[in-house]
Structures are given as C-alpha cells and as structure tokens.
Structure 1
C-alpha cells in the first residue's frame, strides 16, 4: 500500500463496511487513526463523505461519487504494481488466461505460431474458470485471455479471432437426437438464450463443471448449447450433439488490458488471428483489428 493511496483505501473500507469499527478491524488499524484519516481526506477534498451517527455510517452524495471512481482507480494501481513486479522477473513469460477446453481447439497452434513471431515472448498458460479471464486481466495477473463471448468489457480491449457453429447437447433418447440439424424454436430457445447458456445451466443445476452438466444431459435431465469445438472434446455415449440451424455462431476472442503497449501481446494476437484464418475459422470483420501498441 503506497502512502498516496492509503486515504482512498481507508475510505473504501469504511464505505463498504458502513462502520468505522468494522473498517478499522478489517484494515488492522486503530479506530481513532481511521477517523482522523477520513476527516483529513474530507478536509483535503472540501466535501463531507459520510453522514455519521451512533448506529450507522452512510455515504453522502459526494461520497457515493468518490466510491464509484475510487474502486477502479485502486484496482488499476494494484494491477500496475503487479505488472511491474512480474516485469522484473528474471524469466518473465506472458500469461495467457484460458478456461480448459474453451480455446476453440486452437491453443496449441496459437502457442506454436506465437513463438515464430518476431516480437514473441515466452507464453505460459493460466487456467481459469468462467468469467475469471477479465478479472485476471484487470488485476494484472494475466497479459491476455482467450475466451468465448460474452465477457465483461470494462478495461479490456479484444478482437474476435474465430467463429464456430454451436451445437445442442441432447440425451441419446431425445426425439431430436437423430436429426441432422435442429432449429432453436424446436428446443424452445431464442438467440438471447445463448452466450452464457452452459454457465447458467451449471449454476441452475448445482453442478460444478461441464463434465457434470453433460452427465445430467445423458440422464435426460436437461439439454445445453455449446460451441462445436467444446462438444468435440466431450464425447459421451449417452449424449448426442446436433448442429443448430439458425443459431448465431460462437465467437472466440483474444483480449488484453486496455491501453496495453506490449509487443509480446501484439505478437500473440497476430498469431491467434493467423491460426484461426488457417483453420477457416476467422471472423468476417470489416474493421481493422485493434492490436496492442497501435
């Protein structure tokens, strides 16, 4: 914690805890010292940040505005510090965040193609869970991420590098299991039901991962929609994967922290696009791609 950021961190702790006592315990400092620091911050800013009473601490309107901006500012500062520490490592590697089996089947080729790029740096894979990719990028714990849309775009730049069809996972005994392809309406689905469908299914059914979800599909409990490359990695005798005729394709993106100027990340992005194109999976995008450092 730098001296310059300490008052903001104290303020955020009080705002989140709604209590000076709880915030002091969380921060590991004495209550009077915390109160004094907040008063000094209010004096410096010329605004009252909290309405204090014997029972509760509430944010004022200026306090609410400051909290909105303080959190991302502190997160960015922490991320910058982590990146600086990682940059000083003697054997530094770019960290690429990927969820297992959610790489469009391209990861190995992307790593090989990246190594051949002029500005390439060694790349290490950081396995992560759904929705964790962008958190790692914003926290400075990953340099790039390979993931399917949708994702939280705050503080992130990304390019679609590949698109692929989606399939529906059906129990082998399902009435549509023998069809060559099905329509969304046949399944009672609409395009807006897709995107995070498998993730939502996992949460709703109380299972931990895709393997367990597909076990329930095989038992006839549910169905789910997946990118074709993901389905290819999970063959199941009790599960049939049927192409969806009128379904928007799944979009695989490579993402990096906003304002990144890393030549190594730029090499990784170029390699990912080249591999997708060589596989016939490249996105049909008219606008020029955003490349870090450009």
Structure 2
C-alpha cells in the first residue's frame, strides 16, 4: 500500500461520501473511486458498502481506517524528526502540562542551560494528556509526564520525583479550612462533585461532575464553587487566590517522569535526560542507584 492510497481511503472513510472526499483531497471523483477499488482488489476485501442509501465502512474498512491513521501519523512524525535532526542548531522541544511540575521544570531548564554545548530547550505547554501525542507526532523531543495518569506506551522514561496529591477547593468552602482530607471525603461533598478529565481514549468517566479538558476551565469552575479536583501537589503552581489546596492523605502517589521516543538515539536528548536525573528530589527514587540508572539510559540513547 502507498501513503497516497491510505490518504485517499482515510478521506473517504471519514467523509463517507466520495464527492466530499474528492473535494477535500483536491482531485476528481472518478480517479478517487478507481483508487479505492484498486486498493480493495489488492487487499482482497471490501472496505466500503456502497448502495443508494450511501456509503458505510465494512468491518475490514474500520480496521484499515485505524491502521491507516496510525501509519500516516508515523510517516508525518518521521518526516518532522528527520528535518529536525538535519538542523544542528535547533532547540530541543520539551512538552509539559501547563502548570504542572513547575519547580522541577524551572530547575531542569536552569541545569540544561548551564551545560557547556547543550542544545537550547524550547518549552511547549499543553493541556492534560497531550504530551504523548506531541511525542508520537514528532512535535516534541521529550516530555514531562505523570504516572499513572499519562500514556507512556512506546516511550522510554526516567523517574524524577514522587509526590502526593491535593484537593483543589473553592476558598470559601468549609473543607478548605481542613489540614487534610481523605479520598472518601472528597468523593462525597454535597454540591461539589469532582471534575471529570477525559480518559486516554478521549471518553469521560461516569459521574455528576463537569467535563473539563483545559486548566482554565477547571480553574474557573473551582473558583465558582462548581467542582473540585484531586491533582498532584506540584500542580498548585497555577491555582488562583480563590482556590485552596488541601492534602489528600490516601490519594495514590504520582511519579513525574521525563519521557522520549524509545527509538531515539539523540545525544542532545541524552544530555537533557542526564540533567533531569541529576535533579531528582531527595528520597524520590532509590538513593543507591540513580547514577547507574540514568547512565544506563544515556548509554541506550547513544546506541
């Protein structure tokens, strides 16, 4: 299969209309129809059901749609990474969730800047859960991510620190005066449901809380007394004066990691990983093995 054929098929599969797909692709409809027929003939399966009522995907077509999207994304990412690798003076792009791990990020940027000959680092701030997509698309070289919340599949990682979580509450709420809370308490606050972030597949968990997908949405809803959220303690960097953060003593710990594509052999990324590993907080990881751990990582990156 050629990438051209995959692009044609994705357009038809998403539009479910050959005329609209042809306009989207900037080609005439007859050659588009022939290309899809030829692709079906080569694969030996029907990808589309065509009748007077319209066009629909077959089971085989639904499989190819998912695979084709992934293949085209991989081709685009390879193109971006290749072009970036051909620019020796380019900065490394580090993706991180806006407001998260602020102190660690600042220390990492300072440490990287102090390394002789190190590549400059450009920070790409994103919303919750977007780092994985930026890495896979080749739009970022490395990312600060959080286990167990972020999608780390296909990436190499280095643990940097472990932290607890806090409940972010409206400042005037009675629970805001507490020294600590439990998960049971924050799950059952009358009139203040927990906000719902999208899962890795884009769907939202069930519950009465509002669906949010940006930090600004969340910040205003908390300030208005419409929701609360349990978040890593370091994410308090973006909280408003109308917010109060209260430790949640039995919330799962969150591990901040630096992540990069497992196929990378970049010396610039290796240098940044070394700087990040040197900044681990005391007690955050095994004190007996941090140097051996990240030296092994750097050796892997160097190939």
Q: TM-score of the superposition, structure 1-length normalised?
A: 0.81
Alignment-derived partner of residue 57 in structure 1: 55
TM-superposed deviation, 1:185: 1.7
TM-superposed deviation, 1:96: 0.6
Instruction: Give, in whole Å, the separation in 1 of the partners of 2:153 and 2:138.
Output: 14
Q: How does 1:9-24 map to 2 (within 5 A)?
A: 9-24=7-22
Instruction: Give, in whole Å, the separation in 2 of the partners of 1:62 and 1:232.
Output: 48
Q: 1:127 to 1:281 in 2, by over 3 A?
A: farther
Query: In the alignment, which of 254, 257, 261 is matched to residue 258 of structure 2?
Result: 254
In the alignment, is residue 96 of structure 1 matched against residue 100 of structure 2?
Answer: no
Q: 1:35 to 1:207 in 2, by over 3 A?
A: closer
Deviations for 1:126-179, whole angstroms, at most 9, x for unmatched residues? 122222212211111111111334123354333332111211123344333333
TM-superposed deviation, 1:206: 7.3
Query: In the alignment, which of 229, 239, 246 is matched to residue 242 of structure 1?
Result: 246
SS at match of 1:48: coil
Query: In the alignment, which of 264, 281, 284 is matched to residue 282 of structure 1?
Result: 284
SS at match of 1:261: coil
Alignment-derived partner of residue 170 in structure 1: 169
TM-superposed deviation, 1:34: 0.3
Contact kept, 8 Å, 1:80 with 1:140, in 2: the verdict is yes
Q: 1:194 to 1:142 in 2, by over 3 A?
A: same
Instruction: Give, in whole Å, the separation in 1 of the partners of 2:187 and 2:61.
Output: 47
SS at match of 2:111: helix
Pick which of 151-160 and 282-291 moved more.
Answer: 282-291
RMSD over aligned Cα, in angstroms? 3.4
Alignment-derived partner of residue 271 in structure 1: 275
Contact kept, 8 Å, 1:104 with 1:252, in 2: the verdict is no
TM-superposed deviation, 1:74: 0.9
Query: In the alignment, which of 78, 81, 84 is matched to residue 79 of structure 2?
Result: 81
Aligned residue-pair number: 284
Q: Which residues of structure 2 form unaligned runs of 5+?
A: 189-193, 199-203
TM-superposed deviation, 1:207: 7.3
Alignment-derived partner of residue 191 in structure 2: none
Contact kept, 8 Å, 2:170 with 2:244, in 1: the verdict is yes
TM-superposed deviation, 1:281: 6.2
Alignment-derived partner of residue 185 in structure 1: 184
Contact kept, 8 Å, 1:119 with 1:264, in 2: the verdict is no
SS at match of 1:242: strand
TM-superposed deviation, 1:73: 0.9
Instruction: Give, in whole Å, the separation in 2 of the partners of 1:207 and 1:66.
Output: 31
Q: 1:119 to 1:160 in 2, by over 3 A?
A: farther
TM-superposed deviation, 1:246: 1.2
Alignment-derived partner of residue 6 in structure 1: 4
Q: 1:43 to 1:216 in 2, by over 3 A?
A: closer
Query: In the alignment, which of 200, 223, 229 is matched to residue 224 of structure 1?
Result: 229
TM-superposed deviation, 1:83: 1.4
Contact kept, 8 Å, 1:119 with 1:263, in 2: the verdict is no
Q: Which residues of structure 1 form unaligned runs of 5+?
A: none
Instruction: Give, in whole Å, the separation in 2 of the partners of 1:19 and 1:158.
Output: 43
Q: TM-score of the superposition, structure 2-length normalised?
A: 0.79
Contact kept, 8 Å, 1:120 with 1:263, in 2: the verdict is no
Instruction: Give, in whole Å, the separation in 2 of the partners of 1:83 and 1:259.
Output: 11
